[in-house]
């Protein structure tokens, strides 16, 4: 049984249903299976995963908390908790010395500038 709020009251502030969902997602568990395991709706699980992937996208592009908060509309605590999980699974995204403008996942350019040279 998973230690979620419904079946274990003393899990502390570090383990939330969202964290469990995202850890299962990173372990390649399918979202319908995650929803079933944590007794959440499929829509809620998909929303958590979508937010997590958006934040991971911005981290890969070298954005900090303030920029991520602005672009996602999420609060500081939510972004920080996502960053903790991302760091657990992708520590290389937080290492110094990364080549600016390069995505650690592909090595390709991560510029916000489109290929036609126009800046948004």
Tell me: pLDDT of 70 over 70.
yes
Tell me: pLDDT of 98 over 80.
no
Q: Which residue has the higher pLDDT, 109 or 40?
A: 40
Q: What is the mean pLDDT of residues 21-32?
A: 97
Predicted local distance difference test score (pLDDT) of residue 119: 34
| Structural domain containing residue 26 | 1-120
CB 112 within 8 A of CB 103: no
Q: What is the mean pLDDT of residues 95-118?
A: 46
Is pTM beyond 0.85 here?
A: no
* 98 contact partners, CB below 8 Å, separation of at least 6: 62, 92, 104
Domains contained in the chain, number: 1
From its phi and psi, is residue 96 left (phi > 0), alpha (psi between -120 and 50) or beta? beta
Give 16's pLDDT tier (boundaries 50, 70, 90).
Answer: confident
Nearest Cα neighbor of 17 from 53, 47, 60, 56 is 47
* pLDDT tens readout for residues 41-65: 999 999 999 999 999 999 999 999 9
Predicted local distance difference test score (pLDDT) of residue 91: 95
Question: What gap in Å lies between CA 103 and CA 59, rounded to an integer?
Answer: 9
Length of the chain: 120
């Amino acid at each position: 049984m998973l230690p979620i709020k419904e079946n274990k009251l003393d899990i502390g502030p570090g383990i939330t249903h969202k964290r469990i969902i995202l850890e299962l997602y990173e372990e390649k568990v399918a979202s319908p299976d995650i929803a079933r395991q944590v007794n959440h709706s499929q829509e809620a699980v998909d929303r958590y995963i979508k937010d997590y992937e958006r934040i991971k996208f911005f981290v890969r592009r070298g954005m900090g908390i303030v920029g991520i908060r602005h672009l996602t509309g999420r609060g500081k605590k939510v972004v920080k908790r996502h960053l903790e999980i991302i760091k657990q699974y992708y520590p290389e995204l937080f290492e110094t010395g990364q080549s600016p403008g390069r995505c650690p996942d592909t090595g390709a350019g991560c510029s916000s500038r489109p290929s036609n040279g126009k800046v948004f």
